[in-house]
Structure 1
Amino acid sequence: MSVSVVLAGGGTGGHIEPMLALADALLRRGAIEGGLRVTCLGTARGMETRLVPARGYDLRLIPPVPLPRKPTLDLLRVPGRVARSVSETRALLRELSADVVVGFGGYVALPAYLAARRERVPVVVHEQNALPGLANRVGARVAERVAVTVPGTPLRGAAHVGMPLRTAISTLDRPARRAEARATFGLDPDRPTLLVFGGSQGAASLNRAAVGAADALTAAGVQVLHARGPKNTDVTVPPRAPGQAPYAVVDYLERMDLAYAAADLALCRAGAVTVAELSAVGLPAVFVPLPIGNGEQRRNALPVVDAGGGLLVDDADLSPSWIEEHVIPMVTDPATLARYAEHAAAAGARDADERLADIVLEVAR
């Protein structure tokens, strides 16, 4: 029996990456079972215009429906935008003979949920963050099934499945790839290694603190792989003297799997995908939640931290001296790192893509 699955998850990488991980899992099922079609929905202004075609999936565009965070005159235009986007999405669902719509939140998912309801196409919702957004709160009310990444996420009828991840991450054997990974980044094969990154664009506070602690880190024998962000070219560290631990600064990490394999500890933000990837591969972390927004990053990290898989520090408290006092003793103690790594892995989920694919196909059929 042919099955048509429509995925709605455009806008940011936090929506797109789990959508594509699910698409890959569905594609593997289709290769075995046959007759399975996957189509992604997005908008012309999102990252999906680049990422989805690059992964080989069909992308259909619908009008975006951004929701103002504050009451403004623009709020008056929302109903008209919703109506137009829902109308165009309904036409696409009919054209694609959709059997199920899977939404990942954001301004692509909301019109997809409403269109599916009107076309009587069943809906599956996946929420990445511990605190769900408006689109998924609406979607959960009409969904056949709701899946979440973080236990206790407040959505009605939610089942905890974890975050769908790329197989390069979910199948990563860090110890087996460590030597290769460290050689790739010009690092010493045997030194304790700290990975610093703040998302695809970097994070100014993490950059300042890590660079400020560079001398203390390398003096303690800790080598650093630091992704500063492509626009932060002013973030530099003088070359280390011969025999000292290296401090490697890069703009962006194309191979996060190798970065994770190279590291013993991460210093990073607490976006939903980041937290899920680190716990899945068993890499302990010091999480520094983004200090703006609704506090979702702190909530994302808490289950891993509470399980003993990492530490949590407020952005305002992160400093070079904090790194010297807390990070250096942690990353230079193999027994402590091993305990944190074990607890991080226990809090992670490597098979969320397959578990979500099971749910989607069950609903579709």
Structure 2
Amino acid sequence: MKKNKNGKKKEKVISFEKDINHYLEKGIACFKLHDYTKGIQYFKKIIETKPENKSVYYTVAFYLSEINKEQEFRILDDIFEESNPHYLFLRGIYFCMEEDVNGAEYHLKKFIIKEPKSKLRQEAEKLIDNIHEITLFQNNLDYIKLTFYYAGNIESVKEKLKIKFESPFVQSKMCESLYEMDDYLISNVIFLYGLLENNKIAEKTLRQFIKSLIVKEKHIELALLSLKKIGAKEPYEIFLNGKFVQVTLKSYMNRYEEMEELYSCWNDVLSIVVHNMKKSNKYSEQSIEKVKYLWGKFINSIYPDLPHLDQKMKRIWAAGLELTLLAAKSINVSSKRLALIYNVPNHEVLSKYNYIKKTIRF
């Protein structure tokens, strides 16, 4: 060992980089304990040291989407405001999980422009293609979340499951899991059945499951999607409105058409807000994304209580929404000022603001 000028031995410093799984496990553990600030630091460490490990982004985005709403805005700002272009890729996946197709596509395309030579470019392009093809599947949140949760590992999961499913014990345990009380477990198992392409046992199990009188609506949807993925021929028999009926995936999912029409009316509110925000030149792109996120959460929370809105009522809701955004960002602006901008009564603006705030509980 070398000595310094004073004759003392120099200590040999050994630097090492911890495995990314270490940081990932630490981050997940922190999130489960609701220590989001510390968890985010672990996630950032992974992205900054291994920026092209795609499976990490899916895992991080999945846990971000599970954050308690009261913590959500602060935590998302902390990680999304990073200047590193790879955070655009993370945002894209996150917005996919939040069912914000426009937000997802916008960030993924922006990532491709900024990082055209990145190894993640192909994954980003594939995600954009998948977004365009997800028409029938996008109504089921569990399907979307599980798709992105397993993304990056889907092929290996398929291969392992195919081998394991040959065991009668595994077949029995998976079938039993469909009738447990744990919704997340049930959704996971249904999704995994969908990976067993052309498997007659998996098809038979799901066909029997959707005929159950106690199965929840969201699990029927997910099971129909998995049956479609398996390659099971339509129609499918389900128990609906007190009787057994034959349905196709499309006919069953079309019950959302009424919802889409109502959403269209209420989304006019969002269009008014975004237009005014851009016109004022006082809001950042992130603020516009946040107001979209707020409105989406609110609409999903109050559905189906969505009455028709006339133009004046749309402006009232728009003013209330903008006031909600400002409050979420801790910006003190008088409701009277917004009432003047939108040309609506101030007391109505305050009423809608309080209702939105109470509903989404930020």
TM-score between the two structures when normalised by the length of structure 1 = 0.24
Q: Which has the higher helix share?
A: 2
Structure showing greater relative contact order (alpha-carbon pairs closer than 8 Å, 6 or more residues apart): 1
Decide which structure has greater strand share: 1
Give the alignment's TM-score, normalised by structure 2: 0.24
- CA radius of gyration, larger in: 2
